[in-house]
Chains A and B, each alone.
Chain A
Amino acid sequence: MSTQQDVQATMDLFGRLKEAIGSVIVGHKQIVQTALIALLCEGNVLIEGVPGLGKTLLVRALAGALGLKFSRIQFTPDLMPADIIGTDILTEVDGHREFRFSEGPVFANVVLADEINRATPKTQSALLEAMQERTVSVRATTYPLEEPYIVLATQNPIEMEGTYPLPEAQVDRFMLKAVIEYPTLEELTEITTRNTEGAGITIPTPIATADDILRARQIVREIPVADALRTYASRLVHATRPADPTAPPRVRDFVEYGASPRAAIALIMAAKAHALIEGSPNVRPADIEAVLEPAVVHRLLLNFRGEAEGVTIPELLSDIRQEVTV
């Protein structure tokens, strides 16, 4: 069981992490928080935004602040699965040759899958096992990945040229999704200042260790969730399904597929991490509502009518939040 010192230290640590990342990334506080929540919940984050908004920089800053092993994979159309997970290479050892496994970039603590939707679905799927089971299987051998492990993938909006939409199974394995918007005028001014003066952008030095992260994850799991709130989270997820009687009318009209049970798990876990970061000893209704969109938004699939009418999933989630009360 966690002591008060452990919890307090974790809270302080995450306060410093936000500060450190914030010193590099202008604005996007919500995105930083989402990334930290995923880190605390053993989850992965899909960050979507047009090129040039600082997605990669955000991930690099996070990895730098955590002091963990970081690797970056630039997804391209010709990228192969072996380029990601590694492959057996014929190697000469002590005068005889043997196949030895050469680890790919996926073997790290923080993996940046940059522009993941530029690779083919086959290559995208190479990350599935690593993201979910934290293992990599090559031929008959399964290799565990080192904890803490987190995949932060960036993707361009799927309407852009040369992109492949992620398979639903792949998307579902991202615990949270964050959408990076254009910075405001003030933020843009600040960005130009930081990048054009002085030494420019510097990646923060490590302020946390792997043990700190693992202990923080343990603390997150200890945060209590009231039964009624657990039910509330389930009802929210249930209401995303068009066949559900509690679903709002627009969900029934415009949604093809609702959220999976992974969404409910992600919602509860993210709410716990959110409560910890916010300094609360328990999950509150506000915690659940705060993480509803990042936990669910990428798991809903609009039908043709919804696409045609330009309905957005955040709008539907807003409907659900109003329809389903605690």
Chain B
Amino acid sequence: MFEFEAFVASILRRARAERFVRSLGLFGLCLGGSGLILALIAQFLPLPPRVITYVQIGILAAVPLTTALVAWIGSRRLPDASKILFELDRRLHTEARISSLHVLTRSGATGFFTDRLTETVTRESEGWEGVYRPTWRTLASLAGVIVLLVGIVALALVEREPDEEPLPSTEIVTEIEGLEEPLPEELDTIETERIEDSSTDWIAQALADLEQARSDSGADEVPSGFDPEEVELYTTALLEELRERGARPLSAEELERLSELATTAPLELGDALDAVLAEDDPKEIEDQLELIADYARQQADLDRLLEADDRENPESSAERFVPESPAAGEGEDEVYPMSGYGDERETEPSLREAPLPGEPGVTGDVHEYITGGVPIDLYSSGGGPQEIQPQVDYERVETILDTRALPQDAFETVRRYFELVGSEGET
């Protein structure tokens, strides 16, 4: 018994499948396009393959996958039975008999025409499945889509080998992109962008190199074991004793203690303590101890403030300011402690501009007490040794500061300091 309804249902299923397979052509086109874009990115961008992230692959894959989804939804949508049946009529050369019988069965008509058409369709529709048999071209297209799919997935999943060729240099980048020779600032920008675009390992390596470079330059030398409160207490106690009992040379124990403190103190304070150790004049010793005690007190106060500030607002801990140095210009051979006594690592990120407490002093053996390497030349402005004046060579200062890799604002602070010293010294 020929069941026309079942016959139609099976035709519609085949037609759906055929429609889906046909839509794979478009899917393959989109997939091929995405794969081509991916390959071009991998081939021509001066980036390691892993820079092409899964997100980017997902975006590229979205186009063909959306097409496939639409094709699948379209294939699930109910097809127009009358059109499909008429198309089958056309392919089977049955002169619209199948679609006419569909019209009759749909309307529930019975009678001669229904019977006659059923009989005819039963006979003529034998082997109708052959109409929907996929062609070689369709199969080849399907195979191509599968190969493309597998290839793109494999490309997406490939890992970068560690011994692959090194990153291209900046010069290669400029050659590829046809740019002119970049300026130094542009090189910095390119370098920065490269770091930002690279993988985590690559960035970590770059940061480690940078850290090493900074460590080598000595920019982060921090005295360990320095306690300004301890210096303050000892020098204050010693000063009071000297004032109570009258000026006198320091004892061996006192010298030993001061020497211990000098070993842990920052460079400039250590120099000041060393100067006290070398001083024979009790009066000078008393004056210098007073300066050192004042400075140590200020430093201790500042440390306490910073600690309190850190506790209240940890985020602002990066903001530091230049500590007030001991008053300068009070004696011929006074020490000029400079900025940088505290933890340079903390103060480095954002030094605030602050008025420097130091004042230009008079001439003397200045070059012995100022930071080592600062170029101060002496020149004679007239007759006699008293007319000899110090003068800072700023070009050499810049060169020296450059080698120390100071932050720009710290650089400016130091420069300003020396400008003040120089201008006052000239007057």
Residues of B within 8 A of A282 (CB): 95-97, 100-101, 113, 117
Complex CA distance for A281 and B116, rounded to whole angstroms: 7
* A:206-261 near B, CB below 8 Å: 222-229
Tell me whether A1 and B86 are in contact (CB under 8 A): no
Asked if B111 CB lies within 8 Å of chain A CBs, one says yes
Tell me whether B112 and A3 are in contact (CB under 8 A): yes
Tell me whether A224 and B113 are in contact (CB under 8 A): yes
Asked if B104 CB lies within 8 Å of chain A CBs, one says yes
Residues of A within 8 A of B89 (CB): 226
Tell me whether B111 and A226 are in contact (CB under 8 A): no
Interface of A, helix, strand, loop or mixed by DSSP: loop
**Binary B-proximity of A278-319 (CB < 8 A = 1, otherwise 0):** 001111111000000000000000000000000000000000
Interface of B, helix, strand, loop or mixed by DSSP: helix
Asked if B237 CB lies within 8 Å of chain A CBs, one says no
Complex CA distance for A229 and B99, rounded to whole angstroms: 9
Closest Cβ–Cβ distance, residue B306 to chain A (whole Å): 83
Asked if B102 CB lies within 8 Å of chain A CBs, one says yes
For this complex, into which size category does the number of interface residues on chain A fall?
20 to 34
Complex CA distance for A6 and B116, rounded to whole angstroms: 13
Known interface pairs A222-B112, A227-B86, A281-B117; 4 further A-B residue pairs with C-beta atoms within 8 A, sorted by A's residue number: A222-B113, A224-B109, A282-B97, A284-B96
* A:3-30 near B, CB below 8 Å: 3-4, 6-7
Residues of A within 8 A of B120 (CB): 281
Contact among A2, A281, A326 with B90 in the assembled complex (CB-CB below 8 Å): A326
Asked if B36 CB lies within 8 Å of chain A CBs, one says no
Residues of B within 8 A of A4 (CB): 112, 115-116
Residues of A within 8 A of B95 (CB): 280, 282, 284-286
CB pairs A–B below 8 angstroms (18 shown): A2-B111, A222-B113, A224-B100, A224-B101, A224-B104, A224-B113, A226-B82, A226-B102, A227-B83, A227-B99, A228-B82, A229-B86, A229-B99, A281-B100, A281-B112, A281-B113, A282-B113, A285-B95
Considering only CB atoms, which chain B residue lies closest to A285 in the complex?
B96
Residues of B within 8 A of A2 (CB): 111-113
**Binary A-proximity of B71-85 (CB < 8 A = 1, otherwise 0):** 000000000001101
Tell me whether A224 and B82 are in contact (CB under 8 A): no
Residues of A within 8 A of B103 (CB): 224-227
Residues of A within 8 A of B100 (CB): 224-226, 281-283
Task: Point out residues on A near B: beta carbons under 8 Å.
Answer: 1-4, 6-7, 222-229, 280-286, 326
Considering only CB atoms, which chain A residue lies closest to B80 in the complex?
A227
Complex CA distance for A286 and B85, rounded to whole angstroms: 18
Contact A223/B96 with A228-B82, A228-B83 known, Cβ cut-off 8 Å: no
Considering only CB atoms, which chain B residue lies closest to A288 in the complex?
B96
Complex CA distance for A222 and B112, rounded to whole angstroms: 9
Tell me whether B82 and A1 are in contact (CB under 8 A): no
Complex CA distance for A282 and B109, rounded to whole angstroms: 13
Closest Cβ–Cβ distance, residue B17 to chain A (whole Å): 21
Asked if B110 CB lies within 8 Å of chain A CBs, one says yes
Residues of A within 8 A of B113 (CB): 2, 7, 222-224, 281-282
Complex CA distance for A2 and B89, rounded to whole angstroms: 25
Complex CA distance for A102 and B109, rounded to whole angstroms: 45
Contact among B82, B109, B110 with A227 in the assembled complex (CB-CB below 8 Å): B82
Complex CA distance for A142 and B116, rounded to whole angstroms: 43
Complex CA distance for A2 and B112, rounded to whole angstroms: 6
Complex CA distance for A1 and B111, rounded to whole angstroms: 6
**Binary A-proximity of B110-146 (CB < 8 A = 1, otherwise 0):** 1111011100100000000000000000000000000
Contact among B85, B97, B110, B112 with A6 in the assembled complex (CB-CB below 8 Å): B112
Closest Cβ–Cβ distance, residue B273 to chain A (whole Å): 102
Complex CA distance for A223 and B97, rounded to whole angstroms: 11
Tell me whether A281 and B97 are in contact (CB under 8 A): yes
Complex CA distance for A33 and B89, rounded to whole angstroms: 27
Residues of A within 8 A of B102 (CB): 226
Residues of B within 8 A of A7 (CB): 112-113
Considering only CB atoms, which chain A residue lies closest to B104 in the complex?
A224
Complex CA distance for A155 and B120, rounded to whole angstroms: 44
Residues of A within 8 A of B110 (CB): 1
Considering only CB atoms, which chain B residue lies closest to A227 in the complex?
B82
Closest Cβ–Cβ distance, residue B243 to chain A (whole Å): 114
Residues of B within 8 A of A223 (CB): 113
Complex CA distance for A280 and B96, rounded to whole angstroms: 11
Complex CA distance for A100 and B281, rounded to whole angstroms: 163
Complex CA distance for A326 and B113, rounded to whole angstroms: 23
Closest Cβ–Cβ distance, residue B158 to chain A (whole Å): 51
Considering only CB atoms, which chain B residue lies closest to A276 in the complex?
B113
Complex CA distance for A285 and B288, rounded to whole angstroms: 120
Complex CA distance for A194 and B177, rounded to whole angstroms: 98
Closest Cβ–Cβ distance, residue B129 to chain A (whole Å): 21
Q: Determine which residue in B97, B102, B104, B112 has the highest number of CB atoms from chain A within 10 A of its CB, and name it.
A: B112
Complex CA distance for A27 and B221, rounded to whole angstroms: 122
Complex CA distance for A224 and B96, rounded to whole angstroms: 10
Q: Determine which residue in B82, B96, B101 has the highest number of CB atoms from chain A within 10 A of its CB, and name it.
A: B96
Considering only CB atoms, which chain B residue lies closest to A280 in the complex?
B95
Residues of B within 8 A of A281 (CB): 97, 100, 112-113, 116-117, 120
Tell me whether B96 and A283 are in contact (CB under 8 A): yes
Complex CA distance for A149 and B386, rounded to whole angstroms: 146
Closest Cβ–Cβ distance, residue B110 to chain A (whole Å): 6
The 5 closest A-B pairs by CB, nearest first: A1-B111, A282-B100, A226-B99, A228-B86, A227-B82
Closest Cβ–Cβ distance, residue B58 to chain A (whole Å): 43
Contact A226/B96 with A282-B117, A326-B90 known, Cβ cut-off 8 Å: yes
Closest Cβ–Cβ distance, residue A272 to chain B (whole Å): 11
Closest Cβ–Cβ distance, residue B264 to chain A (whole Å): 96
